[in-house]
Structure formats: structure tokens, C-alpha cells
Amino acid sequence: MKKYLQIFKISFEEEFAYRLNFILWRIRNVMQIFLTYFIWSTVYSDPAKQIFGYDRTKILTYVFGIMIVRALVLSARAMDVSNDVASGNLSNYLTKPVNYFKYWFTRDISSKVLNLIFATVEFILLFLVLKPPFLFQTNIAVILAFLVSIIFAVIIYFLILFLLSSIPFWIPEIGWGSHFLVTVVIVEALSGSLFPINILPQGLQSIILATPFPYLIYFPVEVYLGNISGWALFGGLMVAASWVGVLWIFLNVVWQKGLKVYQSFGG
Amino acid sequence: MFKKYFKIWWMMSRNSFSAVLGQKLALSMFLVGKIFRFIFFFLFLYFLLKGTGSLAGYSGNQIIFFFLTFSLVDVTTQFLFREVYNFRPMIIKGDFDLVLVKPLNALFRVLMGGADVIDLITIPPLVILTIVYGVSLQPTMSGVLIYLILLINGFLIATAFHIAILAFAIVTTEVDHAVMIYRDLTNLGRLPVDIYKEPMKGFLTYLIPVGIMMTTPVKAMIGGVSVLGIVIAFSVGILSMFFSLKFWNFALTKYTSASS
């Protein structure tokens, strides 16, 4: 435990070594929120308007909720694993007395803490500038369910990143290509970062809800809004938990097979 | 002169295409990713407008035409100016020296030296889709003409942005985030800038002229821009190019040829 605490500290400090990079990355996050915010603010310019199951307060809370949930879930370092595998750098870790998964999970947590701090500051600043109506959730049970859904989301994203990073065991040259396709394009669209899944037709919603992606952003934010409760909430949490189990088993199989073909090119 | 530079551009582009086509799997990943990204946003707009009927006073087809115009400017500039993304290593290693000593305009080389075949593949279907949606708006002949001229003006501003990023790279050695911030800013032009509130709307129209690049051509075609608005658009285009070239010339005087 102590060594992972040290990894956390080092990783946290490492983020400050590239301050300009980090600040520019956060500026980008804020700009991405603008488009989403203003689209929905225009659609719901009439405060009494009810469409897609949201009113102005709920949809703008959804947009602001994305900022915090994204910082918690999508801030991660584990995408660098593909580089370790492709470059042979993985060998350095295999010979050390650390669990490689725990090592990267600790680094992810460190990244999330730092991004959460910045996202909170940005949240407050944007809140003061844009003055949106906001739903402050006061129901303790809902907040607890929200936190549980966030934990599942964090683990699901970690497992997805590791699975993608395993591809270079077999095809080293598509490390970044696969991350672009899945984490930049598919996760952005299907996680609910750009739009809530329930604006789509029922059939399409059902297909997307059967994948792990909406459990990263859409599901936690919907839980916070109180739009999912009772058996639907329980069912959703069970689906998220099942994805954690399925992805974990799949990752273990893929990783073990990957290690067998790993040749440490350049390492 | 033009013939010579076109020949060089074609040669550099062929080399760049060969390098990318050599990695077919990676190419297909990026191609599929770009197509998916376009489809996802298109579907989002489609279903959003199906529910709302209009957005910021524009009809569904008009909003989609705004998005297609944005995509056209975005993809074409990425196709032409992909080499900008590779400029940082050139500056850091000092390899830019090798560009400067050649009897070729250095700016042309670092701006257009590596056309992107992935973006090229996506341009023809995008043009067809833009024409289909444009025609559905039943524009006048003069409307189409002013749209095309303002679109070229949009490309001019996009070029000016890329030149400014290159100059910024020489001064600071920072490229990656500058390019991505430019892209995030232009992404705000996926929809008409009318959806934003002041002062952001003014900021996006005149200071970072995303609105002039992507919104004004469509608005002019559907009759939503005054003659003064069109004159301002061209002035911004010419001024942005003028100042970015000034910045580039200034940046060249700061190049230290480090590590070479």
C-alpha cells in the first residue's frame, strides 16, 4: 500500500512538471463544454419547455454535471500503457515488485484528483459567468447511488483503456489509432458527453445502453438528476457491475495471451 | 511559379500518401474514426431537430447545412495543412535549418508539406452531401456565388490561423496544444454562432473569426447577411492573413536553430 501511495505522490507531482500542457488541456475541456452548453441553452431558451424528458434546469445541470463526471471518469493515464507495450518499456515494470494494473490504477487516481480540483474551479467560474439554473441534489440515497455509479464508471474506463492498450501486443503500430477510434470518437459520442442518450429513438437507445459506454457519463449524471430510480436504478447498477466483471475477465485473458507473445521490441 | 509549386506540392503529397498507405490498419482506424465522428454528430443534430423542429430560428436543413459547411472547411484545411502537426520536432531538433537552406519558400514547405490522405478520402462524399443539402435550401445563383466566395474567405482565415500557429511554434516550441485549441475554437462553429450569447458571439465572430469562417457563408447564401457584413468578412480575411504573415516573418527572426 505504501509503495502505491508513493506512486500516487510522484505521479501527482509529475503532472506539475508540464504545467503549460496541463493548463492548455484544461482550457480545451472548458471550450468543449461551451458548444454543448449553448446548444442546450438555445433549445431550452423557454424555461417552461419540456422535451426529451428534460426541462431547462435539468438539461443545464446535465451539461455542468458532465464537467465533473468527465474529470472523475475520463481523466486517466492508462492510455500510456499501449506505448509501454509497443516500445518494450513494459519489461521495466515486469521485473519490478509492483502490480502493473495497480500501478496504472494509482496513476489514474492521481490524474483524477488533480483534474477534479481544476474541474471544480472551472465549474465555479463558469457557474458564476453563465448563471445557469442548477439542480442541487439533496437526497442522500441518490447521492450515494451516484457515487456507486461513478466507481463503476471509473473501473469500466480503466478496463477499456487497458484492453485497448493490449492491442499493440499483436499490432504495435495501431496503438494510437485504436485509442482515437474508441476513446476519442466512440466514448465521446456514446457515453453521453455530447448529448443525453435519451434524445435518440428507443431502439437505438436500447442498443447503446447494452454497451459499457453510457455507464461512463450518461448513467451517473442521470442518477444524480434523479431521472433513474427504483428498479431502473438497481438494474442500471447491475448492468454496470456486469460490465466490470465481463471486461475484467476479458482483460485477464487478453493480457495473459499478450504477455506470451510479448517480445519487448526496443526494450 | 505556380506550376513549379504545384509540382512540388504534388510530389510531397505523394510521399506523404505513400507513408500513410503503408500502414493500412492504422489508416483504416483513423478513417473509420473520422467517419464515425461525423455520423454521430450528424445523427445527434438530426434527432435533436426532429424533436425541436428548429434551432436559433433556423430550420433543420439549414442547421445541417451549417454543420456541413463547417465540416468542409475543417476537413479541407486538415487535408492541406496536416504538416503543421509535425512542425514541433522540426523546431526542437533544429531540422528546420534544412528547410530554410532549400530554394523553396519555407512557409510553403512546413504548411503544405504533408497532405493527409485520410482527410482527402472524406472530402468527396462531404462535398456531395453539402451540395444536396445546399440545393434543398433553394438558393439563388447569386446566393451560391457569394457562398463560394465567402467559403474561400473562410479557407483564407483558416490558413492564416495555421501560419500563426507555425510562427507561435518557432517562438515558443509549442504546437500540439495550440493546434488543438484552434480546433476546439473552430468546433464552436459547427453550428451558427447565433446560438452563443454576447460577448461570446462577438468574440467568435470578429476576434476569433470562427463565425466569419463557417457561419457567414451560409447566412449570406440564405440572405441573412448585409452588404456591410460581407465587406467586414472579407476585411477580416485579408487582415488575418496580413497579420499572420507579419507574425511569421517576425518569428523567423527569433529562430535559434537549437540542437542543430
CB contact under 8 A, A24 and B177: yes
Quick one: pLDDT band at residue A46, thresholds 50, 70, 90? confident
pLDDT of residue B181: 85
- Over 60: is that where the pLDDT of A239 sits? yes
- Over 90: is that where the pLDDT of B220 sits? yes
CB B157 within 8 A of CB B74: no
CB contact under 8 A, B184 and A189: no
pLDDT of residue B239: 95
Give chain A's end-to-end CA distance (angstroms, integer).
Answer: 28
How far, rounded to the nearest angstrom, does the alpha carbon of residue B241 sit from its chain's CA centroid? 14
Distance from CA of B33 to the nearest CA of A (A): 5
pLDDT digits (tens, 9 = 90+) for A150-197: 999 999 999 999 999 999 999 888 888 888 999 989 998 999 988 899
CB B36 within 8 A of CB A185: yes
For an interface test with A, the pick among B34, B35, B39, B48 (most A C-beta atoms closer than 10 Å) comes out as B48
What percent of chain A shows pLDDT beyond 90? 61
Q: Which three cell numbers stand for residue A155?
A: 473501473
CB contact under 8 A, A32 and B41: no
Tell me the mean pLDDT in the region B14-37. 89
Of B33, B181, B188, the CB nearest to A180: B33
Distance CA B223, CA B139 (A): 9
- What is the number of other CB atoms lying within 10 angstroms of the CB of residue A240? 22
Tell me the mean pLDDT in the region B57-83. 94
Q: Which three cell numbers stand for residue B166?
A: 507555425
- Over 70: is that where the pLDDT of A266 sits? no
pLDDT of residue B205: 81
Distance CA B232, CA B225 (A): 11
Q: Would you list the domain boundaries of chain B?
A: 2-252
Q: What residue has cell string 461513478?
A: A150
Of A34, A38, A199, the CB nearest to B51: A199
Q: Is the CB of A205 inside 8 Å of chain B's CB atoms? A: no
Distance CA A76, CA A90 (A): 18
Q: Is the CB of A207 inside 8 Å of chain B's CB atoms? A: no
CB B113 within 8 A of CB B12: yes
Q: Would you list the domain boundaries of chain A?
A: 2-261
pLDDT of residue B259: 64
pLDDT of residue B174: 74
Distance from CA of A168 to the nearest CA of B (A): 12
Query: What pTM, to 2 d.p., does this model score?
Result: 0.89
Q: Is the CB of B59 inside 8 Å of chain A's CB atoms? A: no
Quick one: pLDDT band at residue A267, thresholds 50, 70, 90? low
Task: Return the exposure string of B10-35: e unless at least 16 CB atoms fall within 10 Å of the residue's CB, then b.
Answer: eebbeebbeebeeeeebbebbbebbe
CB contact under 8 A, B23 and A173: yes
